[in-house]
Each structure stands twice: as C-alpha cells, then as structure tokens.
Structure 1
Amino acid sequence: MKFFKLMNRFNREEDGATAIEYGLFAALIAAVIVGTVGSIGSKVATGFEAVDTALSAEY
C-alpha cells in the first residue's frame, strides 16, 4: 500500500519534468548560439582583416 501512495505522489509531482524541460530549452538555445556564432564568426573575422589591410596600406 505504501508503494502505491509513493507512486501516486510521484506521478502528481511535475517539478522534475519542469526542470528537464528548462534544461532542454537551455541546451537548444546554446546550440543555436554556437551555430550562429560559428557561421557569422568567420565573416566578421574576414571583415576585420579587410579593415586591417586597408589601414595598413595607408600607414
């Protein structure tokens, strides 16, 4: 009988599921940020190199 009470209480609690959902959302957001920075980062570096080259040629 004690086991069934424990299982009923476990089924009603949603704190664990909510924490897992928040963790999954955070992982998804982190993956999107890493992907975006990875794809944009090389373009930004190329832009800075172009500016550096232009400034080096003048001075």
Structure 2
Amino acid sequence: MKELKGMREFFTEEDGMGTVEVILIIVVLVGLVIIFKDQITEIVEKLFEKITTQTETV
C-alpha cells in the first residue's frame, strides 16, 4: 500500500515541469535565431553603423 502511495505522488508531482518549459523555450529561441540569422546580423550591423556615424557628429 505504501508503494502505491509513493507512485501516486510521483505521477502527480509537478516540480520538474518548470525546467522542461524553460528548456523548450530556449530551444525555440535558438531555432528562431538560426532561421533568421542573416536578418538579425544585418539589423545589428546597421544599428552599430548608425551609432558610429552619430557619435562622430557629437
């Protein structure tokens, strides 16, 4: 009887769900970065170029 109670608690326990959710979110974000790598790189390069040209005028 004690073993059944332990198994029931094991299956109803939800402590590990937070970790799984965080890992899934990270995997999705990494996938998006890989897919849109060229576009992200272009935006960042333009942003730094604009920052550089504007700081030279100050």
TM-score class, shorter-chain normalisation, is 0.5 to 0.7
Same amino acid, percent of matched pairs: 26
| Higher RCO structure, 1 or 2 (CA under 8 Å, sep 6+) | 2
Q: Which runs of 4+ in 1 moved over 6 A?
A: none
Distance 1:32 1:23 in 2: 14
In proportion to residue count, which structure has more helix? 1
**TM norm structure 1:** 0.53
Distance 2:6 2:32 in 1: 39
- Count, aligned residues: 43
**How much is the aligned-residue C-alpha RMSD, in angstroms?**
2.3
Q: Deviations over 1:2-48 (max 9, x none)?
A: 221111111221111221121111110111112211x324xx3xx8x
How do 1:1-59 residues align onto structure 2 when only pairs under 5 Å count? 1-37=1-37, 39-40=38-39, 41=41, 44=42
Unaligned runs of 5+ in 1: 48-59
Larger Rg: 1
Unaligned runs of 5+ in 2: 46-58
